[in-house]
Amino acid sequence: MRAPISLDLHITNFNYPDTPAERLFDRLVEIATTAEEAGFSSISVMDHLHQIPVVGPEEHWMLEGNVALAALSARTRSVSLGLLVGGVTYRNPALHAKMTTTLDMVSGGRAIHGLGAAWFENEHKAYGFRFPPLKERFEHLEDALRIARAMFTEERPTVEGTHHRVGDVLNNPRPLRGDIPILVGGSGERKTLRLVAQYADGCNLFGDVDRVRHLLGVLDGHCEAVGRDPSEITRTRMATVLIARTHEEAQRKLEAWAATGVPRDRVEATFAGDPDTVAERAQAFKDAGIEGLTFSMPDIHDVESVDLAGRTLSAVFS
């Protein structure tokens, strides 16, 4: 089961103009339903508890991702829903698999199980989560991948992992599709992409066109090593998009966003411009082998921009 991602709206920010907390969910529903109508295949949220530095101040609002996705599933009809990606240090992996199975049920079979090795140390300290060394976090990730797949597809699986186990575990009712697609985020060549090749149905990469082309070659090599058909894995790339009807308007948006202190490299990597310019940037990644684009929008609160982005980029990744 390939990860059903061609165009994913990635929600990273919950602080919107003229939107107090009591109206926040209504605004999220407006964003999500606009995205669905505009041609997005999926909606994802970060798995964080504090805002991360690259997006905004730490004290900015952050919703727990699984609860947010479940709520949005009741207000949408067709988009897939998932964490991009779930940190394996935040939850027992069997519980997380159960939570995603529940999301699959309440959404009518639209869940994606996103997993990653986690990285935000300050967040772990604040919430009292242990932050293991990187090598151990990857061991937790492999345990989580094995446990999730078994719980999605087997009746009463037993899995003995390095740090986690399940014994004769029940996950009833089972996923509506008989399985749930698993996506692993990250661009690590030795560990992350090996785990993608061995266990996952989708990957989410970072980097420019040349870097992405190289990473896809590395993934193909890992697939060959484990006897996996590479075409079984949906290849996606993370991006930031700022789009407007005219190039000049998009540049004004970009300059205003850069003035808030966004890292320069992130500004320079943004797909910014009119629809033709943004589509051209996206097409270059499609030509390099990317099958789906996942992206955040600094002006995601502006549903006209969400609509324009969806209609522009769904034509590229159709």
Q: What is the pLDDT of residues 27-41, one digit of tens each?
A: 999 999 999 999 999
∠ CA 91-5-11, nearest 5°, is: 60
For residue 24, what pLDDT is reported? 98
190, 156 contact by CB (below 8 A)? no
Number of neighbouring beta carbons within 10 Å of residue 172: 8
Across 68-87, average pLDDT: 98
Model confidence at 1, pLDDT cuts 50, 70, 90, reads confident
Model confidence at 126, pLDDT cuts 50, 70, 90, reads very high
Across 46-65, average pLDDT: 95
Go through the domains of the chain in sequence order and give each one's CATH number: 7-313 (3.20.20.30)
Residue 227 pLDDT > 90 = yes
For residue 128, what pLDDT is reported? 97
For residue 197, what pLDDT is reported? 98
Q: How far is CA 206 from the centre of its chain?
A: 12
Across 1-17, average pLDDT: 96
Element (H, E) at 238: strand 234-243
211: which 2 tokens? 């870097």
For residue 44, what pLDDT is reported? 98
- Bridge pairing between strands 165-166 and 159-160: antiparallel
Question: Tens of pLDDT along 136-180?
Answer: 999 999 999 999 999 999 999 999 999 999 999 999 999 999 999
